[in-house]
Chains A and B, each alone.
Chain A
């Protein structure tokens, strides 16, 4: 707080500030006349307007949507371009790719289930997805088969018969895993499946 007795200029400034300002009544009219006298800015062609800077008014919700959308587009672009470890999407890891044969071996899987309504193959080669490799029934014999190309190496798999997981009786098994299930193992040599 400033003491006005110790600062005589303060009182003077306050008095000046309180004094009403005298405005020329014609000033506003003269100003508007001058503005109207100015030539209108020429409307630029469309392509030039593309480069003109613009101010957008965006609400907080709009800006949040904009940010989320851009992130989503970035995720999409990134996922289609590269995997987490910098590989091109869809390509096998470099360490595996260097050891894979030029062409995969065509491996046949057979399961006998005369009463089954559906049989499908799940394994480490299809992400354990029961929809990817359904087996086809051969006539009325109860023989279900599917053939698919597999890379050389060790593959762990199971048959899903009407929703129940079964191991292949014609293949070695893995130890019972932490989920209480023993899967089957198929070793695929280069060019031939054992």
Chain B
């Protein structure tokens, strides 16, 4: 009895068509998903941990973009997955500490402050920046601060100088000019600490960095500028 065959010719063709479409869709979907997932080049355990840290940062109100950037930088540098996880975890820690020191600030400020901590400044040094001033950004101050420490200026000197300048109302251009001058001096062979001490004396609203305070008379002259 062959009359019991249920499938018609149309359903058989539909089978073939559907199968072909799905087979064609699979690699396209897979490639597209990889393209859309920036962490797809990480091995599975590392990707899972990085994603977990990013999700935790989002939940805690920390800038997850900074963590993603760190992970992508590692991927671009073809760094081992475990080192990328360690770097992201370290960044997470700095962001958390910066948030504790600064209180509620924007993502950019928090990322810049995390860089200051990464450079070696103490979390307590950030507390002075907790008092917000309307319309004033501390991005430049934090950036120059981290740079100076990275270039070899003693941490305490850099912290004191930048904090005092900021408290005295120095603007972004002042910070940038200070950085430019100190960098030039360092490139010419001057000791980084000495370079900062020399240049800070020329800066309006300057702070005497560290123990090496300038003479009284000179300080007055500079203050009157």
Interface, chain A (partner B; CB < 8 A): 54-58, 62, 65-66, 68-73, 75-76, 79, 85, 93, 95-96, 99, 122, 124, 127-130, 153-154, 156, 165, 172-179, 181-183, 185, 187, 189, 194
B119: chain A residues at CB < 8 Å are: 175
B222 at interface (Cβ–Cβ under 8 A)?
Answer: no
From B6, B33, B79, A55 is in contact (CB under 8 Å) with B6
Residues of B within 8 A of A179 (CB): 73-74, 77, 79, 83, 87
- On chain A, the residues within 8 Å of B36 by CB distance are 79
Please pick, from B76, B79, B86, B179, the residue contacting A122 in the complex, using a CB distance under 8 A: B76
B100 within 8 Å of A by Cβ? no
Q: By the criterion CB–CB under 8 Å, are B83 and A128 in contact?
A: no
When the two chains form the complex, which single residue of A73, A127, A176 contacts B25, counting CB atoms closer than 8 Å?
A: A73
Would you mind naming 18 contact pairs between A and B with Cβ atoms under 8 Å apart? A68-B22, A69-B29, A71-B29, A72-B25, A73-B29, A75-B29, A79-B33, A124-B65, A124-B69, A127-B38, A154-B108, A172-B179, A175-B118, A175-B120, A177-B73, A178-B83, A179-B79, A189-B172
Nearest Cβ distance between residue B191 and chain A, in whole angstroms? Answer: 18
Q: How far is the CB of A108 from chain B (nearest CB, A)?
A: 16
Contact of A56 among B15, B143, B147 (CB under 8 A): B15
Query: Which residues does chain B contribute within 8 Å of A72, judged by CB atoms?
Result: 25-26, 28-30, 33
Q: Is residue B140 within 8 Å, beta carbon to beta carbon, of the partner chain?
A: yes
Asked if B90 CB lies within 8 Å of chain A CBs, one says yes
Query: Is the pair B32, A79 in contact by a Cβ cutoff of 8 Å?
Result: yes
> In which size bucket is the chain B interface?
35 or more
Q: Interface digits, B3-27 against A, CB 8 Å rule (1 contact, 0 not)? A: 0001100010011001101110110
Contact of B69 among A68, A75, A99, A156 (CB under 8 A): A156
Q: Are B70 and A177 in contact (CB under 8 A)?
A: yes
Judge if B176 is at the interface, Cβ distance under 8 Å. Answer: yes
B86 and A130 within 8 A (CB): no
Contact across chains for B87 and A177 when beta carbons are under 8 A apart: yes
Q: How far is the CB of B225 from chain A (nearest CB, A)?
A: 22
- Cα-based distance from A177 to B115 in the complex (angstroms): 9
Which 4 A-B residue pairs are closest in the complex by CB-CB distance?
A72-B29, A69-B22, A178-B87, A172-B147
In the complex, what residue of chain A is closest to B78 when comparing beta carbons?
A: A179
A contact residues around B112 at 8 Å (CB): 154
A173 partner residues in chain B, CB cutoff 8 A:
146-147, 150-151
- For residue B163, CB closer than 8 A to chain A, the reply is no
Is the CB–CB distance between A175 and B15 below 8 Å? no
- Whether B6 contacts A194 by the Cβ 8 Å rule is no
Whether B150 pairs with A175 at a CB distance below 8 angstroms is yes
Proximity bits, B24-46, A CB within 8 Å = 1, else 0? 01101110110010100000000
Contacting B115 at CB < 8 Å: which of A70, A99, A122, A174? A174
Does residue B58 face the partner (Cβ distance < 8 Å to A)?
A: yes
Q: Once the chains are docked, how many angstroms separate the CA of A76 from the CA of B28? A: 9
* Residues B26 and A128 in contact, CB atoms below 8 Å apart: no
Partner of B33, one of A75, A178, A181: A75
* Distance of A194 Cα from B11 Cα, bound (Å): 67
Query: In the docked arrangement, what's the CA distance between A22 and B111, Å?
Result: 93
Shortest distance between the CB of A73 and any CB in chain B (Å): 6
Write out, one digit per residue, whether chain B residues 106-121 have a CB within 8 A of any chain A CB (1) or not (0). 1110011001001110
B87 touches A129 (CB 8 A): no
Smallest beta-carbon distance A179→chain B, Å = 5
Please name 18 further chain A to chain B contacts, defined as beta carbons within 8 Å, in addition to the given A66-B22, A178-B86, sorted by A numbering.
Answer: A58-B15, A65-B19, A65-B23, A69-B21, A69-B23, A75-B29, A75-B32, A76-B33, A122-B73, A127-B38, A172-B147, A178-B74, A178-B83, A178-B87, A179-B79, A185-B143, A187-B139, A187-B172
